[in-house]
Amino acid sequence: MATFDFGLIADATRHPYRVQCEQSKLTRIVLERLSINRNFEIEFSSPVRGVTTSSGGAEIAIDRHEKTEKRSYPWVIGADGARSNVRSSLGIPFEGFTWPERYLVASTPFDFTKVIPDLVSVSYVADPLRWFFLLQIPGLWRVMFRIAAEESDELALSHDFARRLMSGISPEINSVEVTHATLYRVHQRVAGTYRKDRVFLVGDAAHVNNPLGGMGMNGGIHDALNLTERLADVCYGRKPEKELDRYDAQRRSITKEHVEKQSIQNKKNLENPNEFGARLRDIVADPQRTYDYLIGVSMIGSLRRAEQFG
Q: Which phi and psi angles does 196 have, rounded to 5°?
A: -135, 110
Residue 267 confidence class, pLDDT cut points 50, 70, 90: confident
Q: Measured between alpha carbons, how far is residue 58 from residues 69, 70, 242, 274, 279 in Å? A: 14, 10, 18, 53, 50
Residues 159 and 65 in one domain: no
The more confident residue out of 174 and 126 is 126
As a whole number, mean pLDDT of residues 16-30 equals 89
Distance CA 184, CA 134 (A): 16
Residues 31 and 166 in one domain: no
Model's pTM, two decimal places?
0.90
- Identify the three-state secondary structure at position 89: helix
pLDDT tens for 120-155 read: 999 999 988 889 999 998 889 999 999 988 999 999
Residue 195 confidence class, pLDDT cut points 50, 70, 90: very high
Of 158, 186, 214, the one marking the end of a domain is 186
Residues 59 and 88 in one domain: yes
pLDDT tens for 56-109 read: 899 999 999 889 999 999 999 999 999 999 999 999 999 999 988 899 999 999
Lowest mean pLDDT, pick from 151-155, 212-216, 296-300 = 212-216
Q: Tally the domains of the chain.
A: 2
**Packed helices 273-284 and 287-297: angle between N→C axes, nearest 10 degrees:** 120
Nearest one of 269, 258, 270, 268 to 295, comparing CA atoms: 258
Q: Are 37 and 30 in contact (CB under 8 A)?
A: no
Range of the domain at 148: 97-186
Of 156, 186, 216, the one marking the end of a domain is 186
Of 125, 156, 186, the one marking the end of a domain is 186
Residue 165 lies in a domain: yes
Tell me, what's the pLDDT at 174? Answer: 79
Q: At residue 310, does pLDDT exceed 80?
A: no
Residues 228 and 276 in one domain: yes
Q: Give me the CATH number covering residue 170.
A: 3.30.9.10
Percent of the chain with pLDDT over 90: 75
Q: What is the DSSP letter of 258?
A: I
Residue 254 lies in a domain: yes
Q: At residue 234, does pLDDT exceed 90?
A: yes
